Amino acid sequence: MNVMGKAKEFFMITLGTVIAALGVFFFVIPSNLTIGSITGLAMILTNFIPLKISVITFALNAVLLVIGFIFLGKEFGVKTVYTSLIMPVFLGILEVIFPDNKSMMGDPFLDMICYLFVVAMGQAILFYWNASSGGLDIVGKLINKYFRMDLGQAIALAGMCVSLTSLFLYDRKTAVLSILGTYLGGIVLDHFIFGLNMKKRVCIISKKEEEIQNFILKDLHSGATIYEAIGAYDKKPRREIITILTKNEYSKLMNFITKTDKDAFITVYAVNEVIYKPKV
């Protein structure tokens, strides 16, 4: 990856971390919602340890980062080190700027709903760039890797353990909101992740087969598979081109086909995950 690509990557990772930090600080902390996260665990520990949330968050992240490096790889580990370092920094800055931080919505349930969408958006950006905000995201990533569970569900499972402890520290309403928020957070996160990772499986039968193949290979720099097909009505042999593309590539391909062969027969399917070994 070139310098510009690296710069864009770390800009997006920083943006995702900032979004997550804003969601935690303005919606979770004021309402004492221990929605499954390392920050939620830090909020609980502040009842027993005389340290700021940002400091406890930093310490807990350090332990989980070592685990992430060992089991999830160097690239994921390095990026998560970066986010884990700047997350408590952003929280610390917000603590200084807003020392009397109070609930923005004035209602714990509304705070929970806002948190779910804001933080899930930040997390989805991080996971898209093979990073995380650290903490329980690392635990969720481990569950996702070794048990093939959807990432949102995996993080929700890890977070539920934290949320359940709120039953012993806060009133029942706060505890129930924390547990419910953890569960819904996994669903919302999967929604955003699938949205960012969604690809298109495009099947094409066209008289302009060569032109379309060349466009896919040379202009989109993507791959394709050719299948022999027989028409059920006329029994004539045809060749079907199948390719899997990002949303941007799909848009370019459809524009090309519209100009090249308006009579092409095309079917399109949504693809959530593609597992393959890249060519070198």
Q: Does residue 277 fall inside a structural domain?
A: no
Q: Does residue 280 fall inside a structural domain?
A: no
Q: Does residue 189 fall inside a structural domain?
A: yes
Number of CB atoms found within 10 A of residue 268's CB = 13
pTM score:
0.63
Q: Does residue 226 fall inside a structural domain?
A: yes
- Dihedral of CA atoms 58, 156, 17, 84 in degrees, nearest 10, equals 20
Nearest residue to 266 (alpha-carbon basis) of 277, 256, 280: 256
Query: pLDDT tens across 102-156, in order?
Result: 877 778 778 888 888 888 888 888 888 888 777 777 888 888 888 877 777 787 7
Q: What range does the domain containing 171 cover?
A: 3-197
Q: Which two tokens stand for residue 212?
A: 């379309």
Tell me what pLDDT residue 150 has: 76
| Three-class secondary structure of residue 137 per DSSP | helix
β-partners of residue 228 are 239
Query: pLDDT tens across 34-83, in order?
Result: 666 676 677 778 878 888 877 887 788 788 888 888 888 888 888 888 88
Looking at the fold, whether 60 and 166 belong to one and the same domain comes out as yes
Looking at the fold, whether 153 and 233 belong to one and the same domain comes out as no
Number of CB atoms found within 10 A of residue 81's CB = 17
Last residue of a domain, one of 178, 197, 216: 197
Tell me what pLDDT residue 166 has: 67
Query: pLDDT tens across 238-272, in order?
Result: 899 999 998 889 999 999 999 999 889 999 988 86
Average pLDDT, the chain: 81
Nearest residue to 131 (alpha-carbon basis) of 169, 185, 76: 76
